[in-house]
Amino acid sequence: MIGASLQVVSPSLRPFGTFSTVLRRELQLAYRRPADLLNPLFFFAVVTSLFPIAVSPLPDVLALIGPGVIWIAALLAALLPLSTHYAHDYEDGTLEQYLLSGQSLVAICIAKTVALWLVAGLPLVLASLVVSGSYGLAPSTFAVMSITLAGGSYALCALGAVAAALTVGVQRASAMIALLVLPLMVPVLIFGTRAISMAATNLPAKGPIYLVLAVTLLAALLSPIATAAALRISME
Amino acid sequence: MWTWFHKLASPPHFYRMAGLWAPWFLALSVVGMVTGLYGGLVTAPEDYQQGDAFRIIYVHVPSAYLSLLAYVVMAVASAIGLVWRMKLAHAVAAGAAPIGASFTFLALATGMLWGKPMWGTWWQWSDPRMLTELILLFLYFGFMALRANIADRQRADKAAAVLALVGVVNVVLVHYSVEWWSSLHQGQTVMNSEATMPASMLTPLLLMIASFSLFFGAVLLHRLRGEVLIREANARWVRRLVETTPSMETVK
């Protein structure tokens, strides 16, 4: 259906038209499957509440481990929807239609990444604020937390899309995606947690924030190209 | 030059040439390693601070060097394979990965053995080089796991190649980010810079690096012969080879 709609209007569709058509479709699908939206959030809530139980409920300890725990829990939670990110489109033939539509595959990939981030990344950013409050992190860190996590989760969605595209139709894809993506997240993780820790101790955190956003920008620009190449390889 | 290049890319020709070269690579590397180890373990003077313990450098530094070189070989071969659709290049990437992972593991293990007496700890999370090597090992694992999980060989080749190229950007990023991160904690662990090394210490080290590289070449050639045979299993020249080689007949 989406393929048909792309083909019918193809002469008038510029890359941005492709982008908005696919983005609208993705958001509509997510709206009709609310479980996809809620699963990462539940996962995030459960994981972050296990740490105070397992490590220590002391406020000092929680304030110390908070940034790292929240970041890692958010990264793992954002991994969950990746295994179906392209797998659903592959199974019902939409992916084939995308490839045949003659539209820019890179634009389609960017649209899907943006949709994924809106559905899986942004809610986690909001949830992380609640959790950091419960961990006793200083309110001065909230802005830094939101900015870095927003960037970091977009980088994860962009890099995760490459891994998802590489493993379309492959057995044990979800485990593969985690193995492929998590090492790639190290730079963002380092800068992101650094920024929050620095903000918590009232140090200027601008440097690491800029670095998170720089790495995110790099991932956001290069990943769609790699994703499109990976999809072509996977669909050959 | 180009005809030589194209000829090399033909599997039967390459299989023959690799079989001819591999023993030379191996022989040279063994000679180099024996000489280098003798130079490093016997004739090189003791380090004035570390005593004899510094001598693990003759295994550690070449392994670390090769762990990076193998990744570069893998990434360049992947790029060539993707751009020029050269199957042999994909075979090179596939062959280099496990060797590179082994060297990475060796660099980590010897680094830990060295770190225990010198720094009093097996592992230091804030050391940028250790972390870079560890992440490098994970990247190798990811590359090999992706290949292993995709049944179709051509698809596995190309998918792994894309991953290798994404990873190469990442290795650089990881290295600098960890260095920056640790510089907040402490100054980088100062190692004797090679410029101040006396020639009696440095020469065996350079010899060991060269021999390790030759060893890498020898193992890669052997692995490539295996890869070529598997990839060309249905080709006529492989069947003829199997029929005319008595030892292969029994295996079959």
Q: Per the CB < 8 Å rule, is A183 touching B145?
A: no
| Angle at which helices A142-166 and A186-200 cross, to 10° | 170
pLDDT at residue A6, rounded to an integer: 60
A138 vs B80, residue with greater confidence: B80
Instruction: Select from A170, A190, A229 the Cβ nearest to the Cβ of B177.
Output: A190
Angstrom distance (rounded) from CA B185 to CA B190: 14
Per DSSP, the three-state class of B47 is strand
Sort B240 into a burial class: Cβ within 10 Å, 0-12 / 13-18 / 19+.
Answer: exposed
Residue type, B38: Y
To the nearest whole angstrom, how far is the Cα of A211 from the nearest Cα of chain B?
A: 9
Q: Kindly tell me if the per-residue pLDDT of B4 is higher than 80.
A: no
Give the closest-approach CA distance of A17 to chain B in angstroms.
28
Mean pLDDT of B103-114: 91
Interface residue ranges in chain B relative to chain A, Cβ cutoff 8 Å: 82, 131, 135, 138-139, 141-142, 145-146, 149-150, 154-155, 158-159, 162-163, 165-167, 169-170, 173-174, 177-178, 180-181, 184
Distance from CA of A215 to the nearest CA of B (A): 8
- Residues of A in Cβ contact (< 8 Å) with B167: 184
pLDDT of B124 > 90? The answer is no
pTM of the complete model: 0.84
Chain B touched by A105 (CB under 8 Å): no
Residues contacting A196, CB < 8 A, separation 6+:
A66, A67, A71, A137, A141, A144, A145, A148, A205
- B-interface mutation test, from A167, A179, A191, A223, most B Cβ less than 10 A away: A179
Q: Which two tokens stand for residue A174?
A: 């979800």
For residue A187, give the nearest of B150, B167, B177 by CB distance: B177
Distance from CA of B144 to the nearest CA of A (A): 10
pLDDT on residue A170: 85
B121 pLDDT more than 70? yes
CB contact under 8 A, B178 and A186: yes
B223 CB neighbour count, 10 Å cutoff: 20
**For the segment B199-222, what is each residue's pLDDT rounded down to a tens digit?**
788 888 899 999 999 999 999 999
Of A172-186, B28-42, B175-189, B209-223, the range with the lowest mean pLDDT is B175-189
- For residue B122, pLDDT beyond 90: no
3-class DSSP state for residue B51? strand
Chain B residues in contact with A236 by the CB 8 A cut-off are 154-155
Question: Given an 8 Å threshold on Cβ–Cβ distance, is A180 in contact with B178?
Answer: no
Task: Note the pLDDT of residue B190.
Answer: 44
Residues of chain A with pLDDT under 50: 8
Cβ A74 vs Cβ A115: under 8 Å: no
CB-CB neighbors (< 8 A) of B132 in chain A: none
- The whole-number pLDDT of residue B107 equals 92
In this prediction the ipTM stands at: 0.80
Closest residue, chain B, to A233 (C-alpha)? B155
Q: Which of residues 124-143 of A touch B (CB under 8 A)?
A: none
Contact A166 B163 (CB under 8 A): yes
Would you say residue B40 has pLDDT above 70?
yes
**Cβ atoms within 10 A of the Cβ of B2, count?**
6
Q: What percent of chain B has pLDDT over 70?
A: 87
Using N-to-C axis directions, what is the helix angle for B153-185 and A186-200, rounded to 10°?
30
pLDDT digits (tens, 9 = 90+) for A78-94: 999 998 889 888 988 89
Q: Decide: A152 and A188 in contact? Cβ < 8 Å.
A: yes
Q: Which residue has the higher pLDDT, A62 or B173?
A: A62
Residue A123: count other Cβ atoms within 10 Å of its Cβ.
Answer: 18
Q: Which of A166, A184, A194 is facing B159, going by the closest CB pair?
A: A166
Contact call for B142 and A180, based on CB within 8 A:
yes
**What pLDDT score was predicted for residue A216?**
93
